[in-house]
Chain A
Amino acid sequence: MTAGAVYRAGRIGMAAAIAGLVALSGAAAEEAIPSFNLYGQPGLIDMPTAEMAPDATLGLTYGRVHDSNRGTLIFQITPRLIGAFRYTGIQNFNHPSSVDGVYYDRSFDLRYLLFTEGKIRPAVAVGLQDFIGTGIYSGEYVVATKTLTPGLKVSAGLGWGRLGSYNPIATISTRSNDILGTGGVPTYDRWFRGDVAPFAGISYAPNDRLSFKLEYSSDQYDEETRSGGFEHSSPINLGMDYRLKNGAQFSLYYAYGNTLGAQVTFPINPKTAGSPGGNETGGLPVKRRAPGDARDLGWTMALDSAEASTQQRLISSLEREKLEVEGFDLQPQRATLRLRNPTYGASAQAIGRAARVMTRVLPASVEEFVIVPSENGMPMSAITLRRSDLENLENDAAVEMLARTSIVDAFGRAPKSDLTEYPKFTWSLTPYYSYSTFDPQNPLRIDLGARLSGSVQITPNIVLSGSVKKKLVGNLDQITRVDESKLPRVRTNYGYYAREGDPAIDTLTLDFYGRPGRNLYSRLSMGYLEEMYAGVSAELLWKPVDSRFALGAELNYVRRRDYDLMFGLLDNVTTDPVSGIKREIPDVNGHVSAYYAFGNGFHGQLDVGRYLAGDYGATFTVHREFANGWRIGAFATFTDVSEEDFGEGSFDKGILITIPLSVGIGTPSRQSNTTVIRSVQRDGGARLNVSSRLYEQVRTWHEPNVANSWGRFWR
């Protein structure tokens, strides 16, 4: 595929991204990290091996050989499956889509481990390289790797496509040269067809820092020789790796008889990065009641004054735990606490800390604690704990307490929210960044600036919030790329917004949240909903508290925002700058969404409905998520827009990476940063970006999610 541009504004800031790199120090895992090759995959120098990285490894590689620069992100999706996304820039490359002599290309790989290594049997893997789209790196392989003695590994395999270009030994059928659709679709008509060539290699690691590699490459670099200045004079490559303690790999290569290569790889693993259990101070210990105290109901004679004084102590004690009391109800044997958690990323930790404070503050006869966490005034679940269980199980395995905890729907169970003063005004001034990627005129553009955010909570569930940003430095306003679109330009006008929107109002919305019934949650937002659209958005979510399944529906009425990103609006008609055709953006769009947490760390979402440009279709999203908040996922949207009308890429797709801030700081935080990597931003399959959608808020406090991080209850 040739290059296009993507534009997206960073949300919470660069902190989580930095956090990810900082946390590299925690990446030194128990399992051995394999050596990575120039394509960012476990391998030799240019050739693949059958090795896998430790489960959940994310590896970021920059590799350069001759004039080819390759930036690759790999993810070990399951212990046997690796996915990779790569952005390549080949310099001095004579091609119609080269810009200033640089040819840019994106590619996706998959590798699957067929057999693990046995005593005699080698590990065997099969891989598809650059298997989507126009594919300069397109190739397939089957490879076997055997460890002969610790540190000494040999690999051999057969390659097709690019990996079958040097000294082929056979030809299987013919390899198609047609481009399917307009690029961007799997090239299944090519896989394992055409010339087949063998490749092999050996690696030797005398210790865990150094490694030497030698390979016989089956890649002849035909394209680079034809269109660039590459000279292939030998199939033999040699190289050396040096690995730091944190797993970072630095490599130097002598390749193809007359050129040099270099590479740096940073592996990081969401399972092992960061401080285990966090560095924050401890919570309060449980206060055990003296025997017989539980029967003392003397205080109930003056229930009101007891409630008032208990309440005050509860508020101040929870403040020290960085938790907020929204409401409280005290009965002789039961106390109900309506809790707001501005601090802890793990919901179980917020519940555990609140419960321990309750053991220290509440009268001895109160045996049942009900904690009702609330988000934007919506009671999310009612978590019931017995005080004697807390007393008896403080020093036991956390699962013992989980087994005795009940989590039910909070509908109609929450005390009134009368302990926080409304309206409540908060503001913050923070740095922000926005970026645009994959524009061949400049593959990475960045703006840095300041963002002022404010929020007025008028009542617990009516919130007016917004933010304004001002750029300090950056080059996003230099986007000049204009492509024709056969659809209303619902997203491809991003260049206008980037040029004219400084300073800019990011969002300014009035949100109403509610609980219309059992298992039901609602949201109504109005105002400047996102960077490009204003309007009204209504959402209803059905999610039983103990369920892994949820259903939602969202309906939006939108108006295009003016390019200066202030208060003005434009009509919903766009004019294509290339063809001059006017097209109308429909006023109404919306989706029905189904969510399912598979329970093994995988999470799926299906959105079916009408997109911004009026196209109908569905978005499939799959995430692998970790209890500590990391999420790595991918999405693809298929709508009734034809591949020709969609344009470059054929359909909308991308990768999502969420990094929790707590990884970098080692202390609890609910903040995270999500990066969307889209190979091309087009107008088909584009959804409105509403930031206050319900599902993530709701599931945080539901049984499957609370149980996932329950180990933090006593933390």
Chain B
Amino acid sequence: MKTRAFLGLTAALGLAALAGCSNDPYFVNPITTVYDAVFKGKQKPTALTQQQILQTLAATDLPVAFFDVADRDSQTLLIQIETNGPYRTFATATRQAVVMRDGMITGTRGLGGDLMSVDEGPLLDLVRARGTGDVVYIQRFLTPEDITEVLTYRCGVEPDKRVDVAMGLVNTPAQEMVAACESPDGPPFVDYYVVDPSGQIVASRQWLGRHIGYGAMHMLQR
């Protein structure tokens, strides 16, 4: 009887330990966290419905953007939460953020493999002016070692076709711009930007690095 009670106690203790518990709010349970990372690591594909978009636009006057990462089958709505000079931070409710300057993505946070910062000046100027030319563009990432990796690209920029944009509450004629970029340090990519007459980028498909791949952005409310 005693042995059985002891075995029971031992088993209970073992289970509790495996589950891991603590009264410390900052406690990270190594087992369950690793389990989550291994078995729940892949995000489920998310698709937005027309309904969700309409609800969000009705609920806020703040700028809203649609954001899609093709490689991850992930779609989300971003709402502007902060501005700092020309930079605007858009975020989801789960604190994933995309920073844009005049509609060009200059950083991401919380996506995994984040684009930490860029030197976008010459590229942005040329895209906004809807001009043709060659410019230098720099992207910065963290490596898994936590070292900043700097990729210097040379981008050939030129206008493509004219389009009429009608997305959400944004209705405007616009010019498509193409930037083809190459670097000795990283993979080549081709970005598309849709620029309105005032020089604002209202939609884009932009390379956000090896880990994220291409991100597509459509401004739905400005």
Contacts and interface: CB of A to CB of B under 8 A. Distances in A.
Interface string A459-489: 0000000000010100000000000000000
DSSP class of B's interface residues: helix, strand, loop or mixed?
mixed
Contacts of B8: none
Interface in B152-191: none
Given A431-B17, A627-B147, A628-B146, A426 B23 contact: yes
Contacts of B85: 288, 392
Interface string A396-417: 1111000000000000000000
Contact of B23 (A278, A391, A397, A425): A425
Contacts of A13: 30-31
Interface in B43-92: 81-85, 87, 89, 91
B215 interface: no
A402 B143 CA distance: 18
Contacts of B132: none
A277 B34 contact: no
Interface stretch (A32-40, A258-266, A665-673): A665-673
Contact of A665 (B34, B87, B116): B34
Contacts of B29: 430
Contact of B37 (A287, A627, A666): A666
A18 B143 CA distance: 21
A450 B26 contact: no
A427 B22 contact: yes
A278 B28 contact: no
A712 interface: yes
Given A15-B34, A276-B211, A627-B145, A397 B117 contact: yes
A273 interface: yes
A233 interface: no
A395 B142 contact: no
B20 A397 contact: no
A80 interface: no
B36 interface: yes
Contacts of A397: 117, 119, 140, 148, 150
A714 B144 contact: no
B52 to A, nearest CB: 21
A472 to B, nearest CB: 5
Nearest to A601: B145
Nearest to A322: B26
Interface residues of A, number: 71
A449 B28 contact: no
Interface string B1-45: 000000000100110111011111011111101101110010000
Contacts of B144: 26, 271-276, 628, 663
Interface in B92-118: 94-97, 99, 101, 106-107, 109-110, 112-114, 116-117
B20 A428 contact: yes
A661 interface: yes
A472 B13 CA distance: 9
Contact of A282 (B83, B84, B91): B91
A426 B24 CA distance: 5
Most B C-beta atoms less than 10 A away, residue of A22, A286, A450, A667: A450
Contacts of B117: 395-398, 714
A626 B145 contact: yes
Nearest to A343: B26
Nearest to B81: A285
A661 B38 contact: no
A277 B112 contact: yes
Contact of A19 (B34, B110, B119, B150): B34
A385 interface: no
A281 interface: yes
A270 interface: yes
B99 to A, nearest CB: 6
B88 to A, nearest CB: 9
A665 to B, nearest CB: 5
A75 to B, nearest CB: 15
Given A398-B117, A429-B16, A282 B31 contact: no
B17 A666 contact: no
B109 A715 contact: yes
B113 A275 contact: yes
B90 to A, nearest CB: 10
Interface string A242-277: 000000000000000000000000000011111111
A669 B27 CA distance: 10
Contacts of B37: 19, 22, 664-667
Contacts of B81: 285
Contacts, number: 195
A511 to B, nearest CB: 18
Contacts of A470: 10, 13
DSSP class of A's interface residues: helix, strand, loop or mixed?
loop
A705 to B, nearest CB: 12
B145 A270 contact: yes
Contact of B33 (A15, A285, A343, A427): A15
A288 B84 contact: yes
B184 to A, nearest CB: 13
B146 A428 contact: no
Interface string A592-616: 0000000000000000000000000
A428 B148 contact: no
B141 interface: yes
Nearest to A711: B148
Contact of B89 (A285, A664, A709): A285
Interface string A1-33: 000000000001111101100100010000000
A711 B144 CA distance: 11
A283 interface: yes
Contact of A429 (B20, B82, B140): B20
Most B C-beta atoms less than 10 A away, residue of A281, A470, A710: A281
Contact of A628 (B33, B97, B141, B145): B145
A279 interface: yes
Contact of B116 (A270, A277, A472, A661): A277
Nearest to B106: A395
A285 B37 CA distance: 27
Interface in A346-398: 346, 391-392, 394-398
Nearest to A277: B142
A178 interface: no
A661 B30 contact: yes
Interface string A411-441: 0000000000000011111111000000000
Interface string A318-336: 0000101000000000000
B113 A671 contact: no
Interface in A506-525: none
Given A15-B33, A715-B116, A395 B84 contact: yes
B10 A283 contact: no
Nearest to A455: B24
Contacts of A577: none
Nearest to B12: A450
A451 interface: yes
Nearest to B210: A276
A395 B107 contact: yes
A280 interface: yes
B13 A450 contact: yes
Nearest 10 Cβ contacts at the A-B interface: A15-B30, A282-B109, A450-B17, A428-B22, A342-B26, A277-B142, A281-B95, A711-B148, A282-B110, A285-B82
14 contacts: A26-B144, A276-B144, A277-B141, A285-B99, A392-B85, A425-B23, A426-B27, A428-B21, A428-B22, A470-B10, A628-B145, A665-B34, A666-B41, A714-B116
Interface of A: 12-16, 18-19, 22, 26, 270-283, 285-288, 322, 324, 342-343, 346, 391-392, 394-399, 425-432, 449-451, 470, 472, 626-628, 661, 663-667, 669, 671, 708-712, 714-715
Given A282-B97, A450-B16, 19 more contacts: A19-B34, A22-B37, A272-B143, A272-B145, A273-B144, A276-B144, A285-B81, A288-B85, A343-B26, A395-B99, A427-B23, A430-B29, A430-B30, A430-B31, A449-B17, A472-B10, A711-B147, A715-B109, A715-B142
